Amino acid sequence: MSVTEKITDSIYMISDGEDLFVRAFLITGEGRNILIDTGVTRNGVYDEVKKISADPTEVYLTHGDIDHAGGLEQFGECHVHQADIHMICSRIRTIPVNEGDKVSVGSFCFEVIEIPGHTNGSIAFFDKEKGLLISGDTVQRNGAVFMFGKERDPEKYLSSLKKLSGYTKDINIILPSHGELPLAASAVEDCMNDAFTLFRENADGAQHPFMPCRVFKGKTVSFYY
């Protein structure tokens, strides 16, 4: 199940999955669109995109987790960071993106920012002129950041949040994949504080009731680790 909400004249949020727990973002231009993430497997994101616009749509992924890349098969290809290509189904054509790459559509010009940690190939998209950051899973409020499993690296995650903090003076709004939306620039520091408490100060969490991880509930975000 997927549900679309218009955020601005050019940005559509497509919530997807059970309980609509993950978001994709469609940014429309003249004759061309970009879709950031595709939701879960066998979903309705492709159909929602086609309802909004018949123009060609290029897919960019914030990272390779299945709840962000599960709907790729109907699109056939995606732009993704090299470090996460191994997470993408081999039937999908992958086009690598890297730090500093520019992604332009309509009146938007996004810069790719490498923010490894949640996955090795996690990236964010930042339009400095509009003050818009699309953060994937890295920055959330009242959501959960998965930090268990072989793709996760707490030290890289902390470094990436510190890196993003250098952009906050230019951020007006953050669109995250999970949790509350929209977020203010202060969410970056809030996530960093909670992550520091867990990974540097060795705070303890409770065993998750059915997943092979523990859960730490910070002041603004939870971590599954």
pLDDT, tens digit (0-9, with 9 covering 90-100), for 76-102: 999 999 999 999 999 999 999 999 999
Is a pLDDT exceeding 80 seen at residue 5?
yes
pTM: 0.97
Residues 6+ apart with CB under 8 A from 147: 117, 118, 154, 157, 223, 224, 225
* pLDDT, average across residues 189-214: 97
Tell me which of 3.90.550.10, 3.60.15.10, 1.10.760.10, 3.40.50.620 is the CATH number of domain 2-224. Answer: 3.60.15.10
pLDDT, tens digit (0-9, with 9 covering 90-100), for 21-31: 999 999 999 99
Task: Give the per-residue pLDDT at 42.
Answer: 76
Average pLDDT, the chain: 97
Task: Give the per-residue pLDDT at 77.
Answer: 98
* pLDDT, average across residues 172-189: 98
Q: Is the peptide bond before 182 cis (omega within 30 degrees of 0)?
A: yes
Q: Any idea where the domains of the chain sit in the sequence?
A: 2-224
